[in-house]
Every structure is written in C-alpha cells, then in structure tokens.
Structure 1
Amino acid sequence: MTKSLHPVAGATALLTIITFWTSTVLSELLATEAVVIAVKTTIPWGFFLLIPALAAAGGSGFALAKGRRAGLVGVKAKRMPFIAANGFLILIPAALFLSYKAGQVEFDSVFYGVQGLELIAGAVNITLIALNMRDGLKMRRGRLSAGDR
C-alpha cells in the first residue's frame, strides 16, 4: 500500500500547489476583483487536501526509504525540510493573510508584497516537489529495469 500511496499523495500535493499558484496568477492578470477575492478566500480550504497529501507523501517516503540516506533517496530526503519549512513558515501564513485581506477588499501594497512572496515561495515548492517526483520515477525505473518486472 505504501508503494501506491506515495506517488498518489505526492502527485496530489504537487497538483494542488500548481492549482493554487496558477489560479492566483490567472486571476490577478486576467480576472475581475471578485474572482481574485474568490480565489484568495478559497485557497485556505484547499489545505484540507494539501496538508494530508504532503503528510502522506512524506510519511510514506520515509517508510519506503527504510532508513537509507544514500543516492536519490538521500537527495529527496534533503529537499523535504525545505519543502515543509517553506510551506509552514511562508506559504500557509501568506495564504491566510491574503485570504483575510481579500475578504476585506484590501488590495494594498502589503497585499501585493505578500502576494509576490507567496508566488516565489510557491514556485520554489513546485520545483522541489517536481524534482522529488522526477527522482522517484528514476528510482522506480531503476528497480524495474533491474528485473522487477
């Protein structure tokens, strides 16, 4: 089950973050203020999907690693603290702040400064999670090519 859970949870987390990021950019560039408000106030509700997906991906990855820290397993493990810290220290507080500000229709320089920080931090997490997914797929292909078919 862990072998199935890990890629599904990781993909769910990655797609959720991509959805948050893309929705933010598109609403800011192309949509009305009402749509921006809807997007920014809806994103925190997505945490009910994102946080369990990230926890499941991290926990199942830890279980699959079985204490190994060499090679791609180690590379993936080294990225995880940055992904978690970025999420808990920057992305979640920023999303909650922006949701509040949007709900108050306060689109000031502070809102856009935090919005810029959130987009940069989100792009970093998208990149790091995508790299972990790439490395996981490499590891899986390596096992399959070694005769596990």
Structure 2
Amino acid sequence: MAKMIHPIAGAIALLTIVCFWLSTVSAELMGSEAMLVTVKTIIPWGFLILIPSLMAAGGSGLQLGKGLRNPLVGVKRRRMPIIAGNGILVLIPSALYLSFKAQAASFDASFYIVQTIELIAGAVNIALLSLNMRDGLRLARKRPAVNDASA
C-alpha cells in the first residue's frame, strides 16, 4: 500500500506548494490588491490538503525505505528534516501572518519582508521535494516488483 500512497501523496504535496508559490507570485506581479488578499486568505485553507499529504508521503516513505541500504534512500531521509523544519518553522507561520495582514489590508514593509522570506523558503522546499521525487523515481526503476500484500 505504501508503494502506491507514497508517490501520490508526494506529488500532491509538491503540486500544492507550487500552486501556493505561483499564486503568490502571480498575484503580486499581475494582480490587484483584492487578488492578493484572496490568495493570502486561501493559502492557509490549503494546509488541509498539504499537511495530510506531507504526513502520508513521509510515513509511507519511512515504511518503503525501512531496511534499504541504497544511498538515494539516505539522501531522501536527510532532506526530509530540512523540508519539515522549513515548513513548520517558516512557511506555516509566514502564511498565517501574511493572511492576517492581507485581510487587514496592511501591506507594509513587514508584510513584504515576510513574503520575501516565504517565497525563498517555498522555493527551497519546492527544490528539495522535486529532488526527492526525482530520486524516488530512480529508486522505483531499480526496485524489483514484489507480489506480496505488504508491498
């Protein structure tokens, strides 16, 4: 089951973060203030998709990598604390702060400083999750097919 859940959950998580990032950049570059308020208000609601998908990807990844000595598994494992820490310590608090500020129409220097930090941290997570996806696809090509129910 983990073999099926892991790539789906990982792809959903990555696509969700990419949507958050692109929506923010698009609203800033081409949108109105109202569009920016809408984007910043909706993003925290996206956590209802993002957080469970990250948890499912992480849990199923741990299960799939259990006992494997492939160096790619180790590389993926080492990226995960960075991805999780970045999300918990930077991205979630930033998104909540920016949502609050946007709803108050308070687009001051602190809003743009936090938004810049959020965009950089989001780009880092997109890059790291993309690398994990690439390495996961490499692992899947090397992994022999297993016909038992635990796979």
**TM-score after normalising by structure 1:** 0.95
> What per-residue deviation string (whole Å, max 9, x for no partner) do you get for residues 11-37 of structure 1?
000000000000000000000100000
> What per-residue deviation string (whole Å, max 9, x for no partner) do you get for residues 54-112 of structure 1?
00000000001114354100000000000000000000000000000000000000000
Match of residue 8 from structure 2: 8
Q: Which moved more, 1:135-144 or 1:49-58?
A: 135-144
**TM-score after normalising by structure 2:** 0.94
Which residues of 2 match residues 102-113 of structure 1 at below 5 A? 102-113=102-113
Which residues of 2 match residues 1-149 of structure 1 at below 5 A? 1-68=1-68, 70-143=70-143, 148=145
Give the Å deviation of 1:138.
0.5
Q: How many residues align?
A: 146
CA distance in 2, matches of 1:110, 1:45: 22
Contact 1:90 1:118 in 2 (8 A): yes
Q: Say which SS state the counterpart of residue 6 (structure 1) adopts.
A: helix
CA distance in 2, matches of 1:58, 1:143: 19
CA distance in 2, matches of 1:62, 1:15: 21
Q: Say which SS state the counterpart of residue 64 (structure 1) adopts.
A: helix
CA RMSD after TM alignment? 1.2
CA distance in 2, matches of 1:121, 1:100: 19
CA distance in 1, matches of 2:80, 2:14: 13
Please list every run of at least 4 consecutive aligned residues from structure 1 whose deviation after the TM superposition is greater than 3 angstroms: 67-70
Unpaired segments ≥5 residues, structure 2:
147-151
Give the Å deviation of 1:142.
1.6
Contact 1:69 1:77 in 2 (8 A): no
> What per-residue deviation string (whole Å, max 9, x for no partner) do you get for residues 97-144 of structure 1?
000000000000000000000000000000000000000000111225
CA distance in 2, matches of 1:132, 1:18: 15
Unpaired segments ≥5 residues, structure 1:
none
The residue type equivalent to 1:33 in the other structure is: E
Q: Among the aligned pairs, what percent are the same residue?
A: 62
The residue type equivalent to 1:142 in the other structure is: K
CA distance in 1, matches of 2:13, 2:69: 23
